[in-house]
């Protein structure tokens, strides 16, 4: 994997806007356009958008599509209904995480499964394995579509002002026309802010992106996305989730529904739930300047992600610690130094929904 | 802003050094601050500290990375920019001016002649951009 990095249909927009392009999970994407901190603040205070077209989007259709997803997912899709999205995980029989995903239930027998770019090949094989014996058709639509996450307290208002957008509850899914572009819209995201994620045809992606930008939505890169999800304690596959990490350890037990159901990995997860997992995910806030790196020691645990919180104005991170660990002061050992930190439960910030206010220009 | 001012010399690690009388003022280049992104923390040596050419004398941090600062010349720290410690974004805003870091009294000011001039440094940066 060297020069063969893929480009999203919005690549030209990113380069033109001065996006600093990096290769992430095999895709060329902007890590930032200007300041990561300014971009993260835009999402917390007004509205920002991310090109998340690199994420896998796989259409699953058929009379047994729901059964396929129930067999694969740790979460119980029967708790929701068409017109809703659900966060879920796929596990191995051992209970390790293959991926964390969002199922968009767009119509009775019609789903879009949104997956991590780094896991798309494995996820597709896993999905096809399960769909083979059932009435369910798998079509990978990743390359034919664009996905834009519009996030922030003003995000939904701006999106609605650009066309016909249904009023959606949290995790609702519908169809919209925005700036003349037909799109699926879901009230989902990865930032902790209100907002929507839009999926449209690849060719229309640039028009949608430009319309949002002209309406004041700030383009944001992977750096801001990472910082925002870290504040919320959301896991990132490869850091807080993996084949050797259980969802029950990674702070996403809410998406593991073990009552009266069997899915791939349910036996192992049931046993782990009974025994109690040996470690758990916590967050920490550094009291002195530092850049926590994965692999650093935090108390008697290990750092999985590090960054800077724009809300707290301090370095933060996530890490696995023994299950009996309580919040409180600990040391981060990084670059041969000891940095005083406070270990905290997640999320690291209160999810704030600031009132709409006029910004000075 | 001039990305490659001609009145300074450059290290291959992206520090600049400007001879001012018998002092050598030091900072990081426009290219370096742009590559780092938001500078959130700068750690500088105390006044009177000895620094050695090509050896680390401090640290600079962005949200995702820590980088060592390398001394362009051997000598003694005689000034440090406490304003930049308090407001690290000065490094991004004005890397060759308000964002300077330290001034060194060089043992051998002639060491500066061994550093890159603007043209050579610009070529180095261009070669890095091509690799990226």
Q: What rounded mean pLDDT belongs to chain A?
A: 95
Question: From its phi and psi, is residue A171 left (phi > 0), alpha (psi between -120 and 50) or beta?
Answer: left
Those residues whose C-beta lies under 8 Å from the C-beta of residue A41, and which sit 6 or more positions away, are A310
Q: Is residue B3 part of a domain?
A: no
Look-up: residue for tokens 């645990």?
A301
Burial (CB count within 10 angstroms: exposed 0-12, middle 13-18, buried 19+), residue A35: middle
Q: What is the pLDDT of residue B3?
A: 87
Range of the structural domain that residue B47 is part of: 9-131
Element (H, E) at A266: helix A266-275
Q: What is the CA B34 to chain-centroid distance, rounded?
A: 13
Mean pLDDT of A270-297: 96
Rounded CA Rg of chain A: 20
Cβ–Cβ < 8 Å for B40, B34: no
Multiple choice CATH, A278-350, 1.10.10.350, 1.10.1750.10, 2.40.50.140, 2.40.30.110: 2.40.30.110
Q: Given pLDDT bands bounded at 50, 70 and 90, which one contains residue B65?
A: confident
Q: Is residue B24 part of a domain?
A: yes
| pTM for this entry | 0.91
A342: which 2 tokens?
């406070």
Q: In angstroms, rounded to a whole number, what is the distance separating the alpha carbons of residues A73 and A63?
A: 17
Q: Given pLDDT bands bounded at 50, 70 and 90, which one contains residue A356?
A: very low
Burial (CB count within 10 angstroms: exposed 0-12, middle 13-18, buried 19+), residue A145: buried
Question: From its phi and psi, is residue A100 left (phi > 0), alpha (psi between -120 and 50) or beta?
Answer: beta
State the span(s) of chain A assigned CATH 2.40.30.110. Answer: 278-350
The residue among B63, B88, B91 with the most chain A CBs within 10 A of its CB, best to mutate, is B63
* Closest approach of B73 to chain A, Cα-based (Å): 25
Multiple choice CATH, A1-275, 3.40.50.970, 3.30.1360.120, 2.60.40.180, 3.40.50.700: 3.30.1360.120
Contacts of B33 in chain A (CB under 8 A): none
Cβ–Cβ < 8 Å for A155, A193: yes
B92: which 2 tokens?
């991004």
Mean pLDDT of A240-267: 97
* Closest approach of A89 to chain B, Cα-based (Å): 28
- Measured between CA atoms, the residue of chain A closest to residue B62 is A291
Q: In a 3-state reduction of DSSP, which class is residue A31?
A: strand
A249: which 2 tokens?
């350890």
Identity of the residue in A32, A290, A306 whose CB atom sits nearest the CB atom of B37: A32
CATH number, domain containing residue B27? 2.40.50.100
> In this predicted model, what pLDDT tens digit does every residue of A90-106 receive, in sequence order?
999 999 999 999 999 99
Q: In angstroms, rounded to a whole number, what is the distance separating the alpha carbons of residues A240 and A249?
A: 9
> In this predicted model, what pLDDT tens digit does every residue of B75-87 receive, in sequence order?
999 999 999 999 9
User: Hey, is the C-beta of B64 within 8 angstroms of any chain A C-beta?
Assistant: yes
State the span(s) of chain A assigned CATH 3.30.1360.120. Answer: 1-275
Q: What is the pLDDT of residue A339?
A: 97
CB contact under 8 A, B64 and A290: no
Q: What is the pLDDT of residue B130?
A: 74
CB contact under 8 A, A308 and B66: no
Cβ–Cβ < 8 Å for A232, A192: yes
Those residues whose C-beta lies under 8 Å from the C-beta of residue A249, and which sit 6 or more positions away, are A277, A278, A279, A280, A281, A320
Mean pLDDT of A159-180: 97
Binding-site residues on chain A for chain B (CB distance < 8 A):
20, 32, 35-37, 223, 227, 289-291, 306-308, 315, 335
CB contact under 8 A, B38 and A291: no
Query: Model ipTM?
Result: 0.77
Identity of the residue in A35, A289, A306 whose CB atom sits nearest the CB atom of B38: A35
pLDDT-above-70 percentage for chain A: 96
- Measured between CA atoms, the residue of chain B closest to residue A313 is B40
Number of structural domains found in chain B: 1
């Amino acid at each position: 994997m060297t020069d063969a990095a893929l480009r999203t249909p919005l690549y030209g927009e990113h380069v033109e806007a001065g996006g600093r392009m990096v290769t992430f999970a095999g895709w060329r994407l902007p890590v930032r356009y200007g300041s990561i901190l300014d971009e993260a603040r835009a999402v917390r205070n007004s509205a920002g958008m991310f090109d998340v077209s690199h994420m896998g989007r796989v259409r699953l259709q058929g009379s047994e599509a729901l059964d396929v997803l129930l067999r694969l997912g740790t979460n119980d899709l029967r708790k929701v209904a068409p017109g809703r999205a659900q966060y879920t995980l796929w596990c191995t029989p051992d209970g390790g995480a293959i991926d964390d995903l969002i199922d968009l239930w767009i119509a009775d027998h019609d789903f879009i499964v949104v997956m991590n770019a780094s896991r798309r090949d494995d996820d597709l094989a896993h999905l096809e394995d399960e769909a083979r014996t059932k009435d369910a058709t798998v079509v990978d639509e990743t390359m034919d579509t664009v996905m834009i996450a519009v996030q922030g307290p003003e995000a939904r208002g701006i999106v609605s002002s650009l066309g016909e957008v249904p009023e959606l509850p949290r995790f609702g899914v519908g169809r919209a026309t925005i700036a003349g572009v037909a799109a699926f819209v879901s009230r989902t995201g990865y930032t902790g802010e209100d907002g929507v994620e839009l999926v449209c045809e690849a060719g229309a992606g640039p028009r949608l992106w430009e319309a949002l930008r002209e309406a004041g939505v700030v383009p944001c890169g992977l750096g801001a996305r990472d910082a925002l999800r870290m504040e919320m304690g959301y896991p990132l596959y490869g850091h807080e989730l993996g084949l050797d990490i259980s969802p029950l350890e990674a702070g996403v037990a809410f998406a593991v529904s073990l009552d009266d159901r069997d899915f791939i990995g349910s036996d192992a997860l049931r046993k782990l739930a009974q025994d109690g997992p040996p470690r758990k995910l916590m967050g920490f806030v550094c009291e002195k300047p530092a850049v926590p790196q994965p692999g650093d020691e935090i108390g008697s645990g290990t750092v999985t992600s590090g960054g800077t919180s724009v809300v707290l104005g301090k370095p933060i991170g996530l890490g696995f610690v023994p299950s009996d660990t309580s919040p409180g002061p600990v040391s981060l050992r990084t670059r041969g130094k000891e940095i005083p930190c406070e270990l905290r439960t997640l999320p690291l910030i209160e999810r704030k929904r600031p009132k709409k206010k006029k910004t000075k220009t | 802003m001039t990305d490659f001012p001609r009145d300074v010399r450059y290290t291959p690690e992206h520090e600049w050094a400007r001879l001012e009388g018998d002092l050598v003022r030091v900072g990081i280049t426009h290219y370096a601050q742009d590559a780092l992104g938001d500078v959130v923390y700068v750690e500088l040596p105390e006044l009177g500290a000895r620094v050695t050419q090509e050896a680390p004398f401090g640290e600079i941090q962005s949200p995702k990375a820590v980088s060592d600062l390398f001394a362009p010349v051997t000598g003694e720290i005689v000034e440090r920019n406490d304003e930049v410690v308090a407001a690290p974004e000065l490094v991004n805003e004005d890397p060759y001016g308000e964002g300077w870091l330290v001034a060194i009294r060089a043992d051998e000011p002639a060491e500066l002649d061994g550093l890159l001039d603007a043209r050579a440094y610009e070529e180095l940066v261009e070669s890095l951009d091509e690799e990226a």
